[in-house]
Copies of this chain bind each other. A is one copy, B any other.
């Protein structure tokens, strides 16, 4: 295995904006702001385009279960277009606060705003605590917070992070009707840098296969027969290619691991196309399962040494 390709750590970021979104909150949770700064993007495709063009070093976008940006643009944005790779993931519990201007309280909230999805997820709380408020849509939860600060609204259903950013006070917290939702965010970059294996990594792929019974089974067999667990799997229709399905997959392990590399080679032979979207440390707080001996790098090395001897006529 050659040395891991390294490169400068990204310093300029685009995130799904505007300022104050859960996405920015997740980005901030990873450490202090980088010197290059971070800029809000108007949409996931816009953030990805900024990363592709080099306008920023990396885009930071939601991948699963987001409130404001649905998942599809990220998954589809990776599956198509110029290659991008994931270099980091982050998880953030998504809950809402009621942000009001300093000194105000619940009784002062005549006009309440937020992104329609956030309003949908806090409908019960609002009906109980603010039954008489006028409920208004906003372009994002963060935008609602900004509108409160500017006086156009009296209350915002928003991330605590947005309330802080726009100088609001938290009049109430834990507004989600179903608490505990966690959103997963990823940092994506142009190819070139590959995070070093940590022993607890994930790899993300898109596999395109012809539409036949058993194609998915064949595909999954290549993971299972190498002891690789999948942590996410979604079939997605491909609009452009008739009769072709795509599977968006997260699996355990790093492309530098022999078992993952071996599976990739098999998938490359099996599929119409495989797109590699990076290997990166997992951040879901789950310990990676111990890799059974027969799937460890040494097992591959031993087996390949044996094969090489057989091909030279030795007994093995």
Contact = CB atoms under 8 A, between A and B. Distances in A.
A268 interface: yes
Interface string A5-18: 10100000000000
Copy number in this complex? 4
A224 B220 contact: no
Interface stretch (A23-31, A103-111, A115-123, A160-168): A115-123
Main secondary structure of the interface of A (DSSP, over half): mixed
Interface string A298-316: 0110111011001111111
Nearest to A115: B116
Contacts of A136: 139
Contacts of A68: 116
Interface string A257-269: 0000100111011
Interface stretch (A32-40, A94-102, A225-233): A225-233
Interface residues of A, number: 88
B311 A1 contact: yes
Given A65-B72, A265-B307, A303-B269, A314 B230 contact: no
A293 B292 CA distance: 26
Contact of A224 (B65, B117, B214, B269): B214
A138 interface: yes
A316 B276 contact: yes
Given A221-B221, A227-B213, A268 B116 contact: no
Contact of A140 (B45, B71, B116): B116
Contact of A313 (B194, B221, B234, B274): B194
A231 B236 CA distance: 9
A227 B232 CA distance: 24
Nearest to A235: B233
8 cross-chain pairs, A with B, having the tightest CB-CB distances, nearest first: A5-B313, A83-B315, A268-B303, A191-B315, A137-B139, A265-B303, A233-B235, A217-B224
